[in-house]
Structure 1
Amino acid sequence: MSSPVLDLLSNLVLIDRSSVQPIYLQVCQQIINAVQRGYLLVGTKLPGTRALSEVLHVHRKTVIAVYDELEAQGWVEVRPNKGTFVINQSHQIKIDKPYEKLVSLAKYPVRTGFTFRQSTILDNPFEFSNSHLFFNDGQPDIRLTQMQNLSRWYSASMKRKYNLKRLTGYNLEGSEYFREQLSNYLNFSRGLHISKKNLLITRSVEMSLYVISQILLSKGDQVLVGDLSMFSANMVFQKMGARVRTMPVDESGIDVDYIRTHFNPGEVRMVYVSPQHHYPTTVTLSAQKRIALLELAREYGFVIVEDDYDYDFQYEQMAVMPLASGDINGMVVYIGAFGKSLAPAFRRGFVVAPDNLIMEMRKYLGIIDRQGDVIMEQALGEMIEEGEIHRHLKKSLKIYRERRDLFCEILETRFKEVVEFQKPSGGLALWTTWDRRLSLFQLANSCQKEDLFIPKNLLFQNNVLSAMRLGFGHLNESEMDKSLEILHKGIIKMG
């Protein structure tokens, strides 16, 4: 005799056997949808696996996999000898804190009893403040991230039995599934032609640069960067003992001809470039310069390290493909961060390079990050395969484009006498040049008194330049208006 719940599920669950999506995930997602829409209430007992398998015309093991997935994602609870029940998503578990009242009986030493080398190169350049409003160098707004969905993906991945087995062993290559999904994603979105063998997964772009530098740089090697460039990359190169030299940057990117006129073949070991949106000026490297740089790398024998900084945040319909997509001589090492539109904990660095270099880099990664984060990588891989990343990025890009346009509109209206800028085709920050009679550092100090923090790493002022890199992505409309109002008042006070 069928139950009301069984009859309901037989009408709600429709299986597409021609779909590439596994049947158990199709059924799982439709049951979740039934809970969200109120067809299945909290406390509802779901049918037994045998009964549901007969109604849906699937194998009983498929229904078992469905219930396991629902339990992993936190939608149901399996009660021994009673059945499977829909549970409240907001259910909180009280956790005892046995060490909460622990009192230290001794002081830990403030200084070591031995000497060690100290680095000034690696001093933290970032500042922090308790101000409610602030500018940054172009970070996304994590409030746009659906944290509940992200945590559910991760939680479900962590509870799957086949993933738990992977945690007991070591795999220097990380999640094979994630590398396969990420290679597909990069091929589709960036015009690459790679397989999972060409990918190294790291914790961050900085870790990627560190591993690359360990293999490719020796003391005294010359590394060329833009006249204004990513300071974290420069820190890594200098720590390896490389000589960091700068080359001019104009409205079409780095001056490639500068390399030919100032260096001979073999004198340059590496060129670091962010051609999509150069940091900090946001300019895009022109097509002519891209071709010239690839040809020069082949002729001079230097490595191009291409950072795809802000590649995901492009507002024009026709995106410029990375240098790596046109590299046929194996001269480009392509690095980036996957999931930059997500919360920081969900991001992963990656390196794309020919097979032989990736194999060598895995040896070094095995020393500093042997295990990696297989569970997180599995969850991210599923988000790629299920299209979750694409949907999130598409939705957030629309918001960021609107914020860019509003930010530019306010600057043009209130600041046209003292600031110049070009609306960027992508990214989450503007490069603004200011009236040189203004002291940007004094302006930042004045704004901080009004609860607006402008860190010094955003200020570029010397005898020939007066500029600020102003991030807009993290500000909603009211925050943006208030921040720029404070900035405008600070300028008026300075006369």
Structure 2
Amino acid sequence: MTSPVTNPILHLLSIDRSATKDIYLQIVQQIANAIQRGLLREGSKLPGSRSLSTVLQVHRQTVVAAFQELEAQGWVAISPNRGVFVLSNKPAVGARLQLDDATPKEQLYPTNVGFTFKKSNILDNPWTQTASEFSFDDGVPDIRLTQINQLSTFYSANLKRKSNIKKLDRYTNEGSEYFKEQLSTYLHQSRGLRISEQNILVTRSTEMSLYIISKVMLSRGDVVIVGALSYFATNMIFQESGARMKTVPVDSNGLDTASIRALCQQEKVRMVYVTSHHHYPTTVTLSAQRRVELLALAQEFGFAIVEDDYDYEFRYDQQAILPMASADTDGMVIYLGSFGKTLAPGFRTGFTVAPSDIIAEMRKYLGIIDRQGDITMELALGEMIAEGEINRYAKKSLKIYEQRRAHLVDLLQSRLSHYLQFESPRGGLAVWTTWDRRINLSQLAIQCENQGLHIPRNLLYQHKDIAGMRIGFGRMDEDEMTTSISKMQSALTQMKVI
């Protein structure tokens, strides 16, 4: 006798004999999809293998294999001498989701959740995407300068090396001791940091480092001091932690330490965030006098200094200034940066340097959000330090970036000096420009987009007291830079603001 669900099954199942997918898997996929959509209810009995094979015109063993797979995935139960019964429209743990290729995806997955959750306006994505051929950025390296084949050789060699197998066959938030050993030596030689492996936390990025720092250091209501103009991602992280942000002026000597003292005399300050080498976004260097003053203030008032040295490798006019962390004898500075910025993005990593007691606490949080890490990458980077490849890459790329800086400076001076002012940066990969305040920079960005040049909104700083824009030159060669500035010049001419 024909099963009462044979007729519905006829409408639900369709065999495509020209498809590359096995027929029994087509049956599995379509029955599981019907169960998920509620078309086959829990407890319903499916037709027997003989009758279904007759209806579908397939071999009985094909249907048997499909039923066995459905049972293995938790969609049905096979009862000897009784039949095959639908269990539930919710698969068992580990069951694979079956999608019917002929069904639109919007019918398979809900648009909204059925519960409440927190939404954050603070963490809205500030980065914008564009189809424009040309785009400014805030100062990132050019991947085209990287010798990808040589980098991949280091990586694959460490992946294949037998002595590394045990290191790769475990989850750990400790990272590669070899890399930390090499990195500590590198930071000692290049930045004067007299540290050991116990003083280093290896992360994926500077932003991850800051997120972990905020988890360890900040409670809701804590006061964090930043520059009046500061890195937007850092501000987002601190605000998300519930900290109260206080700003101090930034001039040609960096953060105004007199203003920091005044704030400390008014209320308890937990942290001061500073980009000492090249202040973001203005690129100015914190002067020697203010470095000394800031360290003294930290000791006097008991706040932590988070020193972000995001662009330390890129210095053109003189020997790089050592970070404040190199002169810190009281444990007041948490130093962070990124390693390998002259390499391809996948070969870069972040790091934090601090006294070992707080590093141990930070490692707990790293173990939650990045338990696995990337031991192979760290081993490869450690080997590149040991063999001097990192220094070779840095010296080679630095010459090119210095030429690009000079070219952008010439273009700004010759073509846009009527609209803006700037100083050639001593280091980094971006120029800070201040504009005539009659120019609406948001409107300029729209006009440039029409010209095929994208200016991300996170590069623009405009209010009643300032109109500023950070223009990166690292990722553009000279021809691309010339074209981009020409497009901007054309957009300004069309705006007729001056």
**For the residues of structure 1 that align with 2:386 and 2:111, how far apart are their CA atoms?**
50
Is 1:491–2:492 an aligned residue pair?
A: yes
Partners of 2:264 and 2:301 within 8 A in 1: no
Structure 1's unaligned 5+ residue stretches are 1-100
**For the residues of structure 1 that align with 2:393 and 2:307, how far apart are their CA atoms?**
25
**What aligned pairs does 1:327-338 form with structure 2 within 5 A after superposition?**
327-338=328-339
Residue 385 of structure 2 is matched in structure 1 by: 384
Residue 193 of structure 1 is matched in structure 2 by: 194
Is 1:224–2:225 an aligned residue pair?
A: yes
Residue 38 of structure 1 is matched in structure 2 by: none
Is 1:117–2:118 an aligned residue pair?
A: yes
Greater Cα shift, 153-162 or 289-298 = 153-162
Q: Cα offset for 1:163?
A: 1.7
Is 1:425–2:423 an aligned residue pair?
A: no
Deviations 1:349-393 (A, max 9, x none): 100000111111111111111121000000010111111111011
**For the residues of structure 1 that align with 2:391 and 2:310, how far apart are their CA atoms?**
18
- Size of the aligned set, in residue pairs, is 395
Larger Rg: 2
Partners of 1:172 and 1:362 within 8 A in 2: yes
Residue 481 of structure 2 is matched in structure 1 by: 480
**For the residues of structure 1 that align with 2:131 and 2:343, how far apart are their CA atoms?**
23
**For the residues of structure 2 that align with 1:125 and 1:235, how far apart are their CA atoms?**
10
**For the residues of structure 2 that align with 1:393 and 1:318, how far apart are their CA atoms?**
14
Residue 325 of structure 1 is matched in structure 2 by: 326
**For the residues of structure 2 that align with 1:494 and 1:265, how far apart are their CA atoms?**
46
1:441/1:264 CA distance change after superposition, 3 Å? same
**For the residues of structure 2 that align with 1:314 and 1:425, how far apart are their CA atoms?**
6
Deviations 1:183-219 (A, max 9, x none): 1111111111111110000111111111111111111
**What amino acid sits opposite 1:413 in the alignment?**
S
Q: TM-score, normalised by structure 1?
A: 0.78
Is 1:202–2:206 an aligned residue pair?
A: no
1:329/1:493 CA distance change after superposition, 3 Å? same
Residue 283 of structure 1 is matched in structure 2 by: 284
**For the residues of structure 2 that align with 1:399 and 1:375, how far apart are their CA atoms?**
30
Partners of 1:266 and 1:301 within 8 A in 2: no
Partners of 1:218 and 1:240 within 8 A in 2: yes
Sequence identity percentage: 57
Partners of 1:265 and 1:299 within 8 A in 2: no
Partners of 2:209 and 2:350 within 8 A in 1: yes
Partners of 1:208 and 1:349 within 8 A in 2: yes
Q: Cα offset for 1:164?
A: 2.2
Deviations 1:98-154 (A, max 9, x none): xxx993745222211111111111111110101110100001111001111111111
Residue 39 of structure 2 is matched in structure 1 by: none
Residue 463 of structure 2 is matched in structure 1 by: 462
Residue 103 of structure 1 is matched in structure 2 by: 101
Residue 61 of structure 1 is matched in structure 2 by: none
Residue 262 of structure 1 is matched in structure 2 by: 263
Residue 76 of structure 1 is matched in structure 2 by: none
**For the residues of structure 1 that align with 2:258 and 2:463, how far apart are their CA atoms?**
26
Q: Cα offset for 1:172?
A: 2.3
Partners of 2:404 and 2:477 within 8 A in 1: yes
Greater Cα shift, 434-443 or 328-337 = 434-443
SS at match of 2:278: coil
SS at match of 2:265: coil
SS at match of 1:229: coil
Q: TM-score, normalised by structure 2?
A: 0.78
Runs of 4+ in 1 over 6 A off after TM superposition: none
Residue 237 of structure 1 is matched in structure 2 by: 238
Q: Cα offset for 1:166?
A: 1.5
**For the residues of structure 2 that align with 1:196 and 1:103, how far apart are their CA atoms?**
52
**For the residues of structure 2 that align with 1:225 and 1:251, how far apart are their CA atoms?**
16
Q: Cα offset for 1:345?
A: 1.1
Q: Cα offset for 1:264?
A: 2.2
Residue 5 of structure 1 is matched in structure 2 by: none
**What amino acid sits opposite 2:454 in the alignment?**
F
SS at match of 2:479: helix
**For the residues of structure 2 that align with 1:269 and 1:466, how far apart are their CA atoms?**
31
**What amino acid sits opposite 2:450 in the alignment?**
K
